[in-house]
């Protein structure tokens, strides 16, 4: 298990950008949090493979439920990365397996 950050580094209802190594390659990730639950995704919109943040590390979230792509306004559910509105509706963000262990978000696998 690879520790990514402290749970408290992610605003409850918000998102955090970070870089890590996956499958031997550097990857930009976004972590989203609701309460004690955290989900991880590659920071890439499935519509045009652009980052989801409008400025590096600055994401738009709504009601602790969805993450919005800054470029196309697509909305992705926190819990499964499913696009529920926008130009890539029906697509999903690429999930990265994470878990909270003793107050730290860790990468599984």
pLDDT tens digits along 4-57: 999 999 999 999 999 998 888 999 999 999 999 999 999 999 988 899 998 899
Say yes or no to pLDDT of 82 above 80. Answer: yes
Task: Domain count for the chain, please give it.
Answer: 1
Average pLDDT over the chain, rounded to whole?
94
- Percentage of the residues of the chain whose pLDDT score is greater than 70: 99
- Contacts of residue 13, defined as CB under 8 A and 6 or more positions apart, other chains included, come to 33, 34, 61, 63, 64
Secondary structure (3-state) at 26: strand
Number of Cβ atoms within 10 Å of the Cβ of 98:
21
CATH number of the domain that 35 lies in? 2.102.10.10
Whether the pTM exceeds 0.75: the reply is: yes
Domain extent, residue 40, equals 2-107
Tokens read off for 49: 């493979």
């Amino acid at each position: 298990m690879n520790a990514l950050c402290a749970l408290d580094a992610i605003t409850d209802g918000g998102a955090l950008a970070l870089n890590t190594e996956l499958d031997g390659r550097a990857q930009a990730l976004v972590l989203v949090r609701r309460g004690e639950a955290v989900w991880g995704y590659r920071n890439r919109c499935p519509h045009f493979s652009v980052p989801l943040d409008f400025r590096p590390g600055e994401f738009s979230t709504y009601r602790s439920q969805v993450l919005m792509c800054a470029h196309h306004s697509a909305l992705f559910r926190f819990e499964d990365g499913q696009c529920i509105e926008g130009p890539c509706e029906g697509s999903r963000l690429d999930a990265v397996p994470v878990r909270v262990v003793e107050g730290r978000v860790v990468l599984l696998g």
